Amino acid sequence: MFLVAVDVGYSNLKVLSGPLGSPPATVILPAGAGPAAAMPEQFGRARDDGHLAVTVDGDAWAAGVEPSRLQNWERELHPDYPSTPAYRALVHASLVAAGSKRVDRLVTGLPVNHYQDPVRREQLSALLTGTHQVTQGREVTVKAVDILPQPFGAYLDLIQGAPDEGFDQARVVVVDPGFFSVDWVLIDGGELRFANSGSSANAMSLLLEAADELIRRDHGGGLGRDEFEKLVRAGVGRVPLFGSPVELAPYIAAAAKRTAAVAITALKQSMRSERRPIDAVLLAGGGAAVYAEAVQDAFPKARVIVPEDPVLANVRGFWAYAGEAEAATGIAGMPGEPAAAEPQAETEAVAPQPDPEPEAAEPQPDREPEAAEPPARAPARTRGAPVRPAASPARAASRAPGRGKLGKGG
């Protein structure tokens, strides 16, 4: 059984993939995607950032590219993102990176308010299920799809990372500061309290715009939101501007005092009907560390948790859920079918292409091995500890892949 967990964000594409019971491969790429024609020409030793060449409706696309590199192309920053060609390009990129022609189960997520809409869930499930022409010469078939509320992935990751700390019985608020929105939900003893969920537009995109405006005020010019995002993603702390070095951290912190505080105030208001105290606040996503101080101020008595590699928290939980769901299916069997396990899907080492060019190879039959494509520069792929299926998603007791010890924010 071959499993894929995907978190298609507005800023990062996160993918965990591999056979059931094996350590997954991890891929993180920028969530930029656009037609191949929007990519700049490269000459000589020009840089290549390891993006993937895919097709969408027969057209060549570049996916997993820094948004700032796409020319005459606007990135999708709106609630209907999953219905766009750019989203499909990133899904195809995740299937290419996974390296298997057959995916037995794919797990992904939606923001809480979208997850509550059954039409949106059904539309996304239909989009992801079936056979995908991911490149000119490659098809990938996805057999089953599960859609989860995105913060629930981070919650499952927390349960795995600290199985003996009683979080499965606690009242935990999961806060996911993403690039487009800050989403949150209250999980009480493993149950999602949708009445105490919400979303704020005061997310990382607005925070970076505010920080850039402060730099512009002090230095006469700014970096631009997308360039600022790229520097933060790369961990760059100082940049030259008009010949002088500029430290980014003070400007991010100053912007966070305004932007993060507004989002967390909205979160706290959504909890005003709750009489019982909050035990812990779990921060996930790329903006977790930036929003931690505002969360600690809002919930001074709660334990504030920022996991290691918080950008991967949701997708690690999706991976755990995929393993448990597939293991349960193998034990119980599908209706009208024997419980015997199906043959394991074949995997292949697939590297990203240097430029969006059509592939010459024809699609191969499902269970014949196919040659790996010529490598350009592969995205980072790491291996973590295996996930052992647990009795239920909310009570997974093994450590998630690539999972570190929990830290206390604030």
pLDDT band at 398 (very low <50, low <70, confident <90, very high): very low
Question: Residue 72: its pLDDT value, please?
Answer: 83
Domains by residue range for the chain, with CATH: 2-150+312-408 (3.30.420.40)
Question: Residue 339: its pLDDT value, please?
Answer: 40
Evaluate if residue 255 carries a pLDDT over 80.
Answer: yes
Lowest mean pLDDT among 24-28, 224-228, 322-326, 378-382: 378-382
Question: Residue 257: its pLDDT value, please?
Answer: 87
Question: Residue 334: its pLDDT value, please?
Answer: 36
Q: How far apart are CA 355 and CA 61, in angstroms?
A: 9
Q: Which amino acid is at 18?
A: G
Give the tens place of pLDDT for each residue, 28-43.
999 999 999 998 876 6
pLDDT band at 155 (very low <50, low <70, confident <90, very high): very high
Evaluate if residue 152 carries a pLDDT over 80.
Answer: yes
Question: Residue 382: its pLDDT value, please?
Answer: 38
Query: Can you tell me the mean pLDDT for 392-406?
Result: 37
Lowest mean pLDDT among 106-110, 153-157, 366-370, 394-398: 394-398
Lowest mean pLDDT among 106-115, 270-279, 290-299: 270-279
The better pLDDT of the pair 233, 245 is held by 245
Question: Residue 98: its pLDDT value, please?
Answer: 97
pLDDT band at 274 (very low <50, low <70, confident <90, very high): confident
Task: Identify the DSSP state of 74.
Answer: -
pTM over 0.85: no
Q: Are 318 and 7 in contact (CB under 8 A)?
A: yes
DSSP string of 294-353, one letter each residue? HHHHHSTTSEEEE-SSGGGHHHHHHHHHHHHHHHHHHHH--TTS--PPPPPPPB---PPP
Q: How far apart are CA 115 and CA 127, in angstroms?
A: 15
Query: Can you tell me the mean pLDDT for 191-199?
Result: 89
**Whole-number average pLDDT of the chain:** 82
Q: How far apart are CA 54 and CA 32, in angstroms?
A: 13
CA angle at 168 for the pair 163 and 172, rounded to the nearest 5°: 115
With CA atoms as reference, report the closest residue to 94 among 12, 39, 204: 12
Contacts of 54 (CB under 8 A, 6+ apart): 60, 61, 62, 63, 89, 92, 93, 96, 134, 135, 356
Give the tens place of pLDDT for each residue, 97-119.
999 999 999 999 998 888 989 99
Evaluate if residue 401 carries a pLDDT over 80.
Answer: no
Query: Can you tell me the mean pLDDT for 340-350?
Result: 46
Percent of the chain with pLDDT over 70: 78
Evaluate if residue 151 carries a pLDDT over 50.
Answer: yes
